[in-house]
Chain A
């Protein structure tokens, strides 16, 4: 039996009220008003970092050494060439002899990557595969997309044993339907007329895929516990459900009103939310939209009880919410508004790619070393033990810190250091079990930061060298969530 073995999700903590966006830009395009709020990735977050956050959530308590494929789906990869899945796999400290791939180009690629992972299991080329999907799409100021797009991520592992939801079947439709597009080199999404999208594509393709799936599986809609499909238009989302013969309680919340439309990540985020509430025996259908649609049917097993409530998933992330009250800050985070970084913020030495390669596990996976003689964990990896009473030479073993919690030994909030979200807060982390290093602290309000407070590690963008096109990633400390 092939199916989902674990799930995780990520929603950035910043939420902006759409009223703030509308107040800033509604003069240009009064018809854009939408109610609710949307999730905004912090200045140091992008699709890769959000995928890592969701993935860590999903991998909790699992043996990472057993993952033998990692697929990443997004339309907002920071690189055109350089695979994001490999950066993510390294951040998870996965084995090197695995298959990785980026699925991109269409916002339905999240479900497509999941289908490909399931196919790999069925074909026997992987025993455990992981799918991460994230999007951080940028709407042009004043556009409807600016209001509807939200940022988020979801991750699933699929395998053969301990399945929490078994995969039953799928139905896909593919069309070169151009509802929206973004050409090479363009930052902003463009779209065709709403009525065309709605009447010719959105309502039709989702219906086609879901109905096709039901027919294929001889499934009565009454027997489906939850149907999840993305929402482009609130009214039409409802009418699709009605046309499918679903009761409102059978329709999974689309999260547009509180997270926003998360593109590629949207269907899998809804699937995670559905699994959080699922009971053994439930049928769950998830469908995507974008140049067609994929619909997948899962049947929840007894194993669900072992995972339920043990992931931050959607619910806990929804609760961890901080308001972003500033439109200009929001568009500065997305680099839409060019801001003065000062000379200090502009100075950018070249990244030594060869050093990044040598130290990739330290930098991307936060893997340090532990002295075999005295057991002291240390970061970064040392050749000679840093314990002054030990100093044993060349007796180190790998020691990962990314999953270790710690306490904040000391900190400061620095207004001289350049940060897109000043003040730059940083401090020392004393890790539980040993080890100390200094880290930037993110997702923290200065007033809430205290000496000795518990912290955990989060994979973040460390810098962007725009001139050379290099995105640097490293780990930062964040207040312990939950």
Chain B
């Protein structure tokens, strides 16, 4: 393996808007809100930024194509800006671009910013999947929605491990209850109310067996990070956060068209995590990871992600859920900020929003949600469907 980017790049400033139904704000407002917090946090003059990566997914309801919307909104003239889109990992992809550019030595200081305004679509959930997958898929793809795509993994997971669907729903409910509990402590979260098991189990069905509270919301938001050469980081702040690994893995179609995948996990996540652990030098994730923000678009996604990240043994994540292993006061708190469950999922922003929480936690600035002795934080994004997807795994920590 190439030597990777471990500890070559540091995050010296981050910002994140309040997520939610931001009827008051357009994309420009959101970008500026996140950017303002970021440069204030970094304590840098905006003129020091040498290049930027802009993440945005649904251009039609958002900002339009190209990287120009970032330069226009933030008034960063004549900088090289790259627009990236990688479904739900778009925000992480923007961070990866900025971090790799710094690691390469091309720049000293770069900006990564992700933004999405989903509430301007006019309906709940994400836009029609088939139209996003190219002209041929439009003609042959089933009428899939995001919850349906993941519900199929729950169906198979329950079938494989002999879990009665009602019992399975109870395990999944615990995941949502935990995230809501954390989100209630977070002023930037969209949904800030705790939920009971009864509420989760009795909620309207969205895509069997997933009900309303098994699904994350649709919201607007933006988040940003400023990264710099690790050796310069302490010039900006005493507590920079170092990037240990940034990995992306993408399906080749074998899950969907070949029959050796058993449908109960996400193949790409296994590969992305293994590469990230290797890059970061992590041998035993269950012992070494302090906390995680994973892509909990649906409760079942979070459950299998525990297993894909090699934290819980295969088929046994439910036991860790029951034992409170992933609770805020557990061994590895997962979604300390409330996750997508409470933040909603403005696609371009989510990856950076996750890193924002890890960054604040590592600096001991997470307020009511602060966990004890954090050393290593992991973020995980997933775009597409369990059978055809892309995964990002980022690891950050203190030096």
A contact set with B: CB distance below 8 Å: 342-344, 347, 349, 351-352, 355-356, 359, 362-363, 376, 378-380, 382, 386-388, 409-419, 423-424, 426-428, 430, 434-440, 446, 451-452, 462, 472, 474, 476
Contacts and interface: CB of A to CB of B under 8 A. Distances in A.
B156 A415 contact: no
B205 interface: yes
B135 interface: yes
B143 A356 contact: no
Contact of B263 (A351, A376, A415, A428): A428
Contacts of A378: 257-258
B140 A363 contact: yes
Contact of B254 (A387, A426, A434, A476): A387
Main SS of chain A's interface residues?
mixed
Contacts of A426: 142-144, 148, 152
A336 B148 CA distance: 29
Contacts of A440: 142-143
A410 B139 contact: no
A198 B159 CA distance: 60
B128 interface: yes
B151 to A, nearest CB: 4
B47 interface: no
Given A438-B152, A451-B155, 10 more contacts: A343-B123, A347-B127, A376-B258, A378-B258, A380-B257, A386-B252, A387-B254, A411-B155, A416-B206, A438-B142
B324 interface: no
B139 A363 contact: yes
B253 A416 contact: no
Nearest to B215: A416
B152 A412 contact: yes
B258 to A, nearest CB: 5
Nearest to B262: A409
A380 B263 contact: no
Given A363-B140, A386-B254, A426-B148, A413 B208 contact: yes
A415 B140 contact: no
Contact of B153 (A356, A410, A424, A452): A410
22 contacts: A342-B123, A351-B138, A355-B136, A355-B139, A363-B139, A380-B136, A386-B258, A410-B159, A411-B155, A413-B207, A413-B208, A414-B145, A414-B206, A415-B204, A416-B145, A427-B155, A434-B259, A435-B259, A436-B258, A438-B144, A451-B159, A474-B140
- Chain B, interface size category, equals 35 or more
Nearest to A434: B259
A389 B154 CA distance: 28
Contacts of A428: 152, 263, 387
B336 interface: no
A462 B139 contact: yes
B125 interface: yes
B143 A419 contact: yes
Contacts of A386: 252-254, 257-258
B254 A388 contact: yes
Contacts of A472: 139
A36 to B, nearest CB: 34
Given A376-B258, A386-B257, A415 B139 contact: no
A419 B156 CA distance: 23
Contact of B152 (A347, A410, A430): A410
A200 B134 CA distance: 58
Nearest to B122: A343
A85 to B, nearest CB: 21
A222 to B, nearest CB: 56
A359 B140 CA distance: 10
B77 interface: no
Contacts of B210: 412
Contacts of A343: 121-123
Nearest to A390: B258
Interface string B148-164: 10011111100100000
Contacts of B127: 347
Closest 6 CB pairs of A and B: A412-B151, A414-B148, A410-B156, A426-B142, A352-B135, A414-B207
B338 interface: no
A351 B159 CA distance: 37
